[in-house]
Amino acid sequence: MPNPRLSVVVTRRLPEVVETRLTELFDVTLRDEDTPLSRDDIAEAMRRADVLVPTITDEIDASMMAQAGSRLKLIANYGAGVDHIDVQSARQRGILVSNTPGVVTEDTADMVMALMLAVTRQIAQGLAEMQADAWRGWSPMSHLGTRIGGKRLGILGMGRIGQAVARRAAAFGMQVHYHNRRRLRPEVEDALEATYWESLDQMVARMDVISVNCPHTPSTFHLMNARRLKLMKPSAVIINTSRGEVIDENALTRGLRAGEIAGAGLDVFEHGHQINPRLRDLPNVVLLPHMGSATLEGRIEMGEKVILNIKTFADGHRPPDQVLPGML
């Protein structure tokens, strides 16, 4: 007798090709609306499903995990980051957690460069002027930005995305520097032509651009705090496509307003979509709605990884992208 198909609940709308394939393979419950589920709805899903497919908008903490039913055996996260999931509590209940690493690397690195150029070349200001029909012709002193070629880029977090940013920055003629919890192997460092800084303070004080590419963990919360932000040169800019919690958003806002930091390009925010209104009003800031990984190709690849993790689990094997407590 064939094994019954796994019951899978998906918490958000996914690309049609991914939803179709999930339906072919599993007994899947999909969403009609692209809105976050309530905590009660997620808890109900965890009580009746074999597999839950959440996204970063779903907070699955210890109290939620305690409501999981005996059927739930896998949380196949749609996304690389799992700081919204209490992996330790899941492990204690015998629930595996998987993610989708590596998929967003190139897309996010592209967005780092896009934000870097948008901030340093005043693209947002120029766009706003054109949309307001306020442009009155070319002037040699209007919209003067700064070039990024020859500038020092300090990458905070030299994992997959940080290294992809380094390769792009080198193509733009930037000098690549980095701080990481572990120094790269010499051959990798040489290939990237990257200079390692053991002291984050010393690196931050000497860079023209800071790119935040590290995950959010207890040790990286407010890693760029008020004291460290004050070390930045007044002409420097900061880019964040990683996690908003890594930067003290209030301190950043004060520094930008005071002219202590030249500009910022942010795709993520400390409190999710609740953005400091004083930050939104600043002309030297480019804000994006968490678009760093938003390509159709990337979203489909992410779904394919979710399906592979579930299918491997259904076949009685460990999901290839299983997450263990403390591994991220």
pLDDT tens digit sequence for 265-299: 999 999 988 999 999 999 999 999 999 999 999 99
Task: Please tell me whether residues 157 and 84 are part of one structural domain.
Answer: no
Indicate whether 199 belongs to any domain. yes
What's the rounded mean pLDDT across residues 9-18? 97
Task: Please tell me whether residues 145 and 282 are part of one structural domain.
Answer: yes
Task: Please tell me whether residues 135 and 275 are part of one structural domain.
Answer: yes
Task: Please tell me whether residues 190 and 113 are part of one structural domain.
Answer: yes
Indicate whether 2 belongs to any domain. no
Task: Please tell me whether residues 53 and 185 are part of one structural domain.
Answer: no
Please tell me the distance from the alpha carbon of residue 39 to that of residue 45, in angstroms, as a whole number: 10
- Structure confidence by residue, pLDDT tens digits, 86-102: 999 999 999 999 999 99
Q: What percent of the chain is modeled with pLDDT above 90?
A: 93
pLDDT at residue 1 in the model:
41
- Structure confidence by residue, pLDDT tens digits, 116-126: 999 999 999 99
pLDDT at residue 216 in the model:
85
Task: Please tell me whether residues 68 and 191 are part of one structural domain.
Answer: no
The pLDDT confidence band at residue 7, using thresholds 50, 70 and 90, is: very high
The pLDDT confidence band at residue 3, using thresholds 50, 70 and 90, is: low
Task: Please tell me whether residues 98 and 168 are part of one structural domain.
Answer: no
Indicate whether 270 belongs to any domain. yes
Task: Please tell me whether residues 168 and 307 are part of one structural domain.
Answer: no
Indicate whether 1 belongs to any domain. no
- DSSP 8-state symbol, 261: S
The pLDDT confidence band at residue 308, using thresholds 50, 70 and 90, is: very high
Please tell me the distance from the alpha carbon of residue 12 to that of residue 142, in angstroms, as a whole number: 45
What mean pLDDT is reported for the chain? 95
Overall domain count for the chain? 2
- Structure confidence by residue, pLDDT tens digits, 50-76: 999 999 999 999 999 999 999 999 999
What's the rounded mean pLDDT across residues 221-233? 98
pTM above the 0.95 mark? no
Task: Please tell me whether residues 140 and 254 are part of one structural domain.
Answer: yes
Indicate whether 328 belongs to any domain. no
pLDDT at residue 326 in the model:
60
More confident residue, 229 or 326: 229
Is the pLDDT reported for residue 133 higher than 60?
yes
Indicate whether 282 belongs to any domain. yes
- Structure confidence by residue, pLDDT tens digits, 155-173: 999 999 999 999 999 999 9
Task: Please tell me whether residues 204 and 216 are part of one structural domain.
Answer: yes
Task: Please tell me whether residues 48 and 112 are part of one structural domain.
Answer: no
Q: What percent of the chain is modeled with pLDDT above 70?
A: 98
pLDDT at residue 2 in the model:
54
What's the rounded mean pLDDT across residues 305-317? 97
What's the rounded mean pLDDT across residues 127-149? 94
pLDDT at residue 327 in the model:
55
Domain region containing 46: 7-103+295-323
What's the rounded mean pLDDT across residues 210-234? 95
Task: Please tell me whether residues 245 and 307 are part of one structural domain.
Answer: no
Indicate whether 120 belongs to any domain. yes
Indicate whether 45 belongs to any domain. yes
Give me the CATH number covering residue 312.
3.40.50.720
